[in-house]
């Protein structure tokens, strides 16, 4: 690129390759950036010896707030500008389910945030566990709503409502109460609270925004995640009804999430960099073999060898063990991951 005197040199953008980043355990841990993450982002934005910019997107299984809100937070944490056009979280693809169901139960997250997210996706009638406890506080013997929760919950007559589907958008803040309510619905006649099915096969379907059994938070050791709640719920349903419960999970490693990410990246490269052709390689940097490496490897097989998995040692995966799914490369941290991709390219 030609630069005129007085203006800083403009870096060119590569159309050959791109990056996709997992967030927890790669860029952020317990709300704080992983030290190398900020420099890694600078590198992608042109501060590298090749003087080029490399397009990138974020694909996290996390959630619990709107994409917009999460991007504002991520921009501050990583000292760059992150746009919803380059961001997918666990529940983003759930927006495609909004048309299909009438009344739905949305579980997880702080306060009313997930209700706001679901309504933003176009879900027509969103019930939360708080609404159910407000209507009948005997639902959860050991959980009383706080004054604020009571105020924010909606008054409904559940004897007239059929809940058609259950969506776990984010981690439950109260496993006991939320599981009781989900079980009540699963054992009901057609999603009507207060009823009991004779066969236990006419309850609503349950969707989880991802299936991570553990994840990397501020504690040194991994913490239980939504996949653990899913396992627990399936085991309880079996114990109480004697029947198998089949639930569905979105997020990584589902192929659909990687297809969604491919479309997002294509649009992002087009809108912000004017690139029309697909990249030869997408480097996916993740910390969880079961979600990030597995999904990338499986999707790679379907996408003519364009996705390349890089595992870092800053999150769920720790040195000394053999990852269940083998990445193309394992490096110490996200900065090394970015360097690894760049070195492969030149």
Which residues neighbour 60 within 8 Å (Cβ) at sequence distance 6 or greater?
A: 22, 23, 24, 88, 89, 90
Provide the mask over 93-132, with x wherever binding to ligand G3P is found by CB under 6 A and - wherever it is not. Answer: ----------------------------------------
Token reading at 153:
């919950």
Pick from 17, 25, 94, 330: which binds ligand G3P (CB under 6 A)? 25
Among 18, 20, 23, 181, binds ligand G3P (CB under 6 A): 23
By CB under 6 A, name the one of 62, 109, 130, 191 that touches ligand G3P. Answer: 62
Residues 6 or more apart whose CB falls under 8 angstroms from that of 15 comprise: 269, 273, 275, 277, 279
Which one of 129, 191, 204, 225 is in contact with ligand G3P (CB under 6 A)? 225
Minimum distance of ligand G3P from residue 206's CB (angstroms): 17
| Contact between 22 and Mg ion per CB under 5 A | yes
Tell me how far apart the alpha carbons of residues 233 and 199 are, in angstroms, rounded to a whole number: 18
CB 44 within 8 A of CB 56: yes
Q: Which of 17, 18, 24, 43 binds ligand G3P (CB under 6 A)?
A: 24
Q: Is the dihedral of CA 133, 136, 139, 143 positive or negative?
A: positive
In 3D space, the residue among 258, 264, 269 whose CA is nearest the CA of residue 306 turns out to be: 258
Q: Beta 125-127 vs 103-107: how paired, if at all?
A: parallel
User: Which of 14, 24, 67, 275 touches Mg ion (CB under 5 A)?
Assistant: 24
Contact call for residue 67 and ligand G3P (CB under 6 A)? no
- Segment near ligand G3P (CB under 6 A), from 209-217, 259-267, 323-331, 336-344? 209-217
The dihedral sign for the CA sequence 63, 69, 72, 73? negative
Size of interface with Mg ion, in residues (CB under 5 A): 5
Residues in contact with ligand G3P by the rule CB under 6 A: 22-25, 60-62, 171, 210, 212, 215, 225, 288
Binding interface with Mg ion (CB under 5 A): 22, 24-25, 287-288
């Amino acid at each position: 690129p030609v630069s005129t005197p007085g203006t800083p040199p403009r870096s060119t953008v590569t159309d050959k390759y791109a990056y996709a980043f997992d967030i927890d355990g790669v860029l952020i841990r317990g709300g704080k950036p992983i030290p190398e993450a900020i420099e890694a982002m600078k590198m992608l934005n042109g501060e590298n010896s090749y003087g080029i910019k490399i397009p990138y997107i974020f694909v996290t299984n996390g959630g619990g707030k709107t994409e917009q809100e999460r991007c504002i937070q991520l921009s501050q944490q990583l000292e760059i500008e992150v746009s919803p056009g380059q961001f997918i979280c666990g529940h983003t693809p759930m927006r495609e389910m909004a048309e299909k169901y009438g009344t739905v139960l949305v579980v997880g997250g702080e306060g009313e945030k997930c209700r706001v997210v679901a309504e933003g996706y176009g879900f027509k009638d969103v019930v939360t566990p708080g609404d159910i406890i407000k209507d009948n506080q005997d639902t959860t013997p050991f959980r009383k709503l706080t004054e604020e929760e009571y105020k924010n919950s909606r008054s409904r007559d559940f004897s007239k409502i059929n809940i058609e589907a259950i969506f776990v958008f984010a981690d439950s803040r109260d496993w006991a109460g939320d599981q009781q309510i989900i079980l009540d619905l699963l054992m009901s006649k057609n999603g009507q609270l207060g009823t009991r099915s004779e066969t236990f096969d006419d309850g609503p379907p349950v969707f989880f925004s991802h299936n991570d059994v553990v994840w990397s938070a501020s504690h040194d050791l991994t913490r239980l995640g939504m996949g653990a709640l899913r396992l627990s719920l399936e085991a309880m349903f079996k114990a109480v009804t004697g029947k198998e419960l089949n639930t569905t999970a979105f997020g990584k490693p589902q192929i659909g999430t990687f297809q969604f990410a491919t479309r997002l990246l294509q649009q992002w490269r087009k809108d912000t960099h004017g690139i029309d052709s697909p990249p030869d390689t997408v480097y996916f940097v993740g910390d969880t073999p079961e979600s990030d490496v597995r999904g990338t490897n499986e999707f790679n097989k379907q996408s003519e060898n364009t996705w390349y998995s890089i595992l870092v040692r800053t999150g769920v995966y720790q040195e000394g063990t053999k990852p269940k799914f083998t990445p193309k490369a394992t490096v110490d941290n996200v900065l090394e991951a970015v360097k690894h991709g760049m070195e492969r390219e030149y």
